[in-house]
Amino acid sequence: MITLTHGMVLAAGLGLRMRPLTETTAKPLLHLDGRSLLDHALDRLAAAGIGQAVVNAHWHADQVAAAVAGRTRPRVTLQREEVLLETGGGVARALPLLGEGPFAVVNGDAMWLDGPRQALARLAAAFDPEQMDGLLLVVRSAQVEGDIGRGDFLLDPLGRVRRPKEREMAPYVFAGVQILSPALVRDVPDGPFSLNILYDRAIESGRLYALVHDGVWFHLSTPADLERAEAAMRAGLVRALF
């Protein structure tokens, strides 16, 4: 178990599959249930007791800067990226701002509703620095509406993660929420690279784990996904479950 004090929201992506909505705005600034996706993510960091957060920005960076300028919980440091660094490069550049211990990283388009306990609190309670370099929140593929391909991961009985083999279907999809150890983000490539490189490194050493989400998660890749999520929220169906 750890205490989370720092976090990062990845808000620099181009959101190409969400076009045309993202032609004039950054994807994390799209609204769902009356608030931007970025505000939802930061709200959840604040609710988990995280006081310091980094938000990176590239596409429509001025809009992202304006959106976080008034936040006090958590206190936000904006990381402008003139060159898009991708997920891994963004985290690596932010590492000096993310404290001494494990930290949370949330995708800017990750939208979830907690189950009986906060998802970030569950991750923090389950994170064991002695055994883990990363702990991912995953959702069951069968519960996801939208195109998720073959899924992302399989889990062993202890929660250790592996990738699907060729032609193998994976029963879990990454939810865009995770806790990472600073040790995972050492000896990394210069410039842009994906967090998947670090996941593979941790899988190889048996130090990447996952926790299955016990609430609702929305797959938000296309405008149709966003419309479905908004309709579900308006109908009150997902709120009635939790």
pTM: 0.92
**pLDDT surpasses 70 at 240:** no
Task: Note the pLDDT tens digit of each residue in 145-173.
Answer: 766 677 889 999 999 999 999 888 889 99
Which of 25, 11, 118 minimizes the C-alpha distance to 71? 11
First to last CA, the chain: 25
Reduced to 3 states (helix: H, G, I; strand: E, B; else coil), residue 120 is helix
- Could you tell me the domains of the chain? 6-241 (3.90.550.10)
Q: Which of 15-19, 56-60, 175-179 has the lowest average pLDDT?
A: 15-19
Instruction: Report the chain's mean pLDDT, rounded to a whole number.
Output: 92
For 186-230, write each residue's pLDDT tens digit: 989 889 999 999 999 999 999 999 999 999 999 898 999 999 888
**pLDDT the model gives residue 70:** 85
Instruction: Kindly tell me if the per-residue pLDDT of 110 is higher than 60.
Output: yes
Compute the radius of gyration of the chain from its Cα atoms: 17
Q: What per-residue confidence (pLDDT) applies to 67?
A: 95
Percent of the chain with pLDDT over 90: 78
Long-range (24+ apart) CB contacts under 8 A made by 166-172 are 169/141, 170/141, 171/140, 171/141, 171/142, 172/138, 172/139, 172/140, 172/141, 172/210, 172/212
Orientation angle between helical segments 37-47 and 61-68, nearest 10 degrees? 40
Measuring CA to CA, how many Å separate 96 from each of 77, 104, 130, 192, 200?
12, 14, 22, 17, 23
Nearest CA to 25 out of 40, 10, 14 is that of 14
Tens-digit pLDDT profile for residues 119-139: 999 999 999 999 999 999 999
**Predicted pLDDT at 170:** 86
Q: Which residue has the higher pLDDT, 222 or 239?
A: 222
Closest Cα to residue 98, out of 161, 184, 213?
A: 184
User: Bridge partners of 36?
Assistant: 31
